[in-house]
Amino acid sequence: SQQGEEDPQALSIQEGENATMNCSYKTSINNLQWYRQNSGRGLVHLILIRSNEREKHSGRLRVTLDTSKKSSSLLITASRAADTASYFCATDRSRGAQKLVFGQGTRLTINP
């Protein structure tokens, strides 16, 4: 079963607007990660937030984590056409091998 559930499944916005994607999970985690996948390509790591962190920034990305609600959000500010991609959250529930469990993803389309 999938640990992470992204919401919405698809999002279409105008260039320059902000995009927010949400991820909910079911069990306790060590960390939560966000990945981007361009069409037909592999996944690329964007940002990792640990269970004892509440917010993290990287460039135009802002990630929040609420462990009490078992949820995370990814905010992309001032979106660009190149941000068009699928975005996945992944949770790490185990120590050692770090078997990341991925959600189903949010398909983001940035319209020029």
Partner 1 sequence: NAGVTQTPKFRVLKTGQSMTLLCAQDMNHEYMYWYRQDPGMGLRLIHYSVGEGTTAKGEVPDGYNVSRLKKQNFLLGLESAAPSQTSVYFCASRPGTTMTGELFFGEGSRLTVL
- Helix, strand, coil shares of the chain, percent, nearest 5, are 5, 55, 40
Nearer to partner 1, 42 or 112 (CB): 42
Tell the smallest beta-carbon distance from residue 84 to partner 1 (Å): 18
23 makes contact with partner 1 (CB under 8 A) = no
Q: Are 13 and 111 in contact (CB under 8 A)?
A: yes
- Which are the contacts of 52, defined by CB distance < 8 A and separation ≥ 6? none
Single out the residue of 79, 105, 108, 110 in contact with partner 1 (rule: CB under 8 A).
105
Tell the smallest beta-carbon distance from residue 105 to partner 1 (Å): 6
| Separation between Cα atoms, residue 36 and residue 32, nearest integer Å | 14
Q: Are 6 and 68 in contact (CB under 8 A)?
A: no
Instruction: Give the contact letters, 61-100, x = binds to partner 1 (CB under 8 A), - = no.
Output: ---------------------------x-x-x---xxxxx
What DSSP state is assigned to residue 99?
-
Nearer to partner 1, 2 or 18 (CB): 2
For binding to partner 1 (CB under 8 A), which residues are involved?
2, 4, 30-31, 33, 35, 40-45, 48, 88, 90, 92, 96-105
